[in-house]
Amino acid sequence: MAVAGPGRVSWENRREVLRKTRERAGFLYTMSSVVVYGLMPALVRLIYDASELSALQASFWRFALAAPVLWLLALRSHPNHHPFSPRARASLWRTVFVGIFYGLTSVLAFQSLLYIPAAVFIILFYTFPIIVVSVARILGERLPRVFWLALILTLGGVALTAIAELIGAGEVDAVDERSLLGVLLALASALAVALYFTVNQRILRGHGGVTRGVVWILTSASVTLFVVAQLTGEGIGLDAIGDAWALLLFFGVCSTSFSVYMLNLGIQRLGAARASVVATSEPIFTLFFAWLLLGEWLQLPQFIGGALILAGVVLLTWRQMRAGVTGGSA
């Protein structure tokens, strides 16, 4: 029977240390992405307050400022991968199509933030992980039993949050039409993002790296929104930016390009399943920033609704992570 020598034990210990260091770095990368991305709804509201930009114009500037920065990061990370290589070109048209869809999805979300508080928006928007799994079920994928419990929790949370926002402090039969529009737009943006994630899982396989694929998506989104802004007569809103330039720069560079890049690094080191569990903390940071920067706070039914939605998302994500780890080790 062979006995492991001290050299082998030392090497295995070093490998374990390196693995833990890599996972800690992955956690920090993912969490930094989540924190900065969680600031986005509050940033949009601040941009609206400091400028006269529309949802379409704000979305355009988000992608127009983020894409060049992410291009530089992608080229730096993958210097040997040419953006117009045969492999990249093979799926480029599909990536461009996803970018068009993603740009219009952003407009839905930003339009919703014109009508409802950022705190309410993030609760409703964060139903998208459940919608992603629901779409998979519709497409014929077998799902664990826990999905149905997560779905019930999420639907109950949506009902509580939406009803509380619609009636506000008024009578039960007094529905705020602006709030109704905001709630519907938030849920529509959640559905659109769910479809984006469903399609995006296959689209990005044709590129040298996830960051490179996302760069094409953001570039396509900015071009699409520029064209739409010209066709609708809104323009890109240079004269409407006012005092919001610093907010727009932070929005595009940090809350978009930096967040995407950090999340990519986190997934590479932590794995997609574990990174998705860390990402479920995003609504907590959004609620904190909404309170800190905007003075927004939730009503008790909305707190309960948010807790139900978050519980459903965490339950489902944790189950998927366990399944992914088990499947990967088999």
Q: Please give the chain's pLDDT, 330 residues, in tens.
A: 455 555 555 666 777 777 778 878 888 888 898 899 889 999 999 999 999 999 999 999 999 999 999 888 877 766 555 555 555 555 667 777 888 888 989 999 999 999 999 988 988 888 887 887 777 777 777 767 777 888 888 888 888 887 777 776 444 444 577 888 998 999 999 888 888 777 765 555 544 455 567 788 889 999 999 999 999 999 999 999 988 999 999 999 999 988 888 887 887 777 766 776 777 788 888 888 999 999 988 788 888 888 888 888 777 767 665 655 433 333
- The encoded tokens of residue 67 equal 């894409």
Give the whole-angstrom CA distance, residue 186 versus residue 182: 6
The Cβ-side half-sphere exposure at 135, using a 13 Å CA radius, reads 16
Q: Is 91 helix (H, G, I), strand (E, B) or coil?
A: coil
pLDDT at position 5: 53
Closest to 216 measured CA to CA, from 43, 81, 53: 81
Residue 210 CA: distances (Å) to CA of 197, 206, 324, 330: 13, 9, 19, 25
Residue labelled with tokens 């077998």: 142
pTM: 0.80
Give the whole-angstrom CA distance, residue 38 versus residue 43: 9
Q: Is 192 helix (H, G, I), strand (E, B) or coil?
A: helix
8 A C-beta contact, residue 111 and residue 55: yes
Write the DSSP symbol of residue 204: G
